[in-house]
A and B are shown apart, each in its own frame.
Chain A
Amino acid sequence: DIVMTQSPDSLAVSLGERATINCKSSQSVLYSSNNVNYLAWYQQKPGQPPKLLIYWASTRESGVPDRFSGSGSGTNFTLTISSLQAEDVAVYYCQQYISNFFTFGPGTKVDLK
């Protein structure tokens, strides 16, 4: 199975400041045939289901604010929130889907400083 790790476990960021979350996979999630990374990011607020933010590592889901961006390739990926808003307080998960057996990262909790 592909193991996903995230860092940090949690971070506290001031309003308007940048938040950066890292995700690493134990195997490459870059599919060589189409040069696409099979990596998604989700946001989960307390008491709510996960919400898709980013897929194919860097494609923003419709309706997601452009302060959210995804980057990276192969085994190393980053989710960046360029200017943290109060409503961005949540846990963020990465997920690989290159394997038929999906795996998620353990999550990164983002709080306000």
Chain B
Amino acid sequence: EVQLMESGGALVQPGGSLRLSCAASGFTFSNYWMTWVRQAPGKGLEWVANIKQDGSEKYYVDSVKGRFTISRDNAKNSLDLQMNSLRAEDTAVYSCARGGGVVSGPNYYMDVWGKGTTVTVSS
């Protein structure tokens, strides 16, 4: 079964750091672009970051550029999101998602989603 499972969410103070992980199973992880998407409480979906199959291309939403870093370990079938200088507005459920189809470019829909992990930034 194709599956994504996030972990690492926690309550953290403003200015703090957190590292989220996403464990992939049931498919050849190294063949797919991967994405982080977040959803603030009661709000809509917001794309956060993408990473290419080999990690050579990464894209970020402006609001997290310079603070968040997406990375992957294809040997461990794992996707990470390092979050630094956290702000209250980063409070959200963070989900990882798989790029639909085996595509080479960064233009794809997301066909498999994890259930998410909750990040709360508060003092």
Q: A residues within 8 Å of B by Cβ?
A: 1, 38, 40, 42, 44, 48-52, 55-56, 61, 91, 93, 95, 97-107
Stretch at the interface among B23-31, B40-48, B71-79: B40-48
Contacts of A105 in B (CB 8 A): 44
Can you list 8 residue pairs at the A/B interface with Cβ under 8 Å?
A: A40-B110, A48-B115, A49-B114, A49-B116, A51-B113, A52-B110, A95-B45, A97-B108
Q: Is B15 an interface residue (CB 8 A)?
A: no
A38 → B minimal CB distance (Å): 6
Per-position binary interface string of chain B over residues 5-19, scored 1 when its CB falls under 8 Å from any chain A CB and 0 otherwise? 000000000000000
Contact of A97 among B62, B107, B113, B114 (CB under 8 A): B107
Contact of B100 among A1, A55, A102 (CB under 8 A): A55
A110 → B minimal CB distance (Å): 15
Contacts of A38 in B (CB 8 A): 107
Q: B residues within 8 Å of A by Cβ?
A: 35, 37, 44-47, 50, 59, 61-62, 95, 97, 100, 106-111, 113-116
Contacts of A40 in B (CB 8 A): 109-110
Contact of A101 among B45, B59, B97, B108 (CB under 8 A): B59
Q: A49-B113, A97-B109 are in contact. List 16 more A-B contacts (CB 8 A).
A: A40-B110, A42-B110, A49-B114, A50-B37, A50-B95, A50-B97, A51-B113, A52-B109, A55-B100, A91-B44, A97-B108, A100-B59, A100-B106, A100-B107, A103-B47, A105-B44
Cα A98 to Cα B62 in complex, Å, equals 17
In the complex the two chains form, is B61's CB within 8 Å of A101's CB? yes
Contacts of B97 in A (CB 8 A): 50
Closest to A105 in B: B44
In the complex the two chains form, is B44's CB within 8 Å of A106's CB? yes
In the complex the two chains form, is A95's CB within 8 Å of B109's CB? yes
A63 → B minimal CB distance (Å): 11
Contacts of A93 in B (CB 8 A): 44-45
> Contacts A100-B50, A101-B59: A52 and B111 contacting too (C-beta < 8 A)?
yes
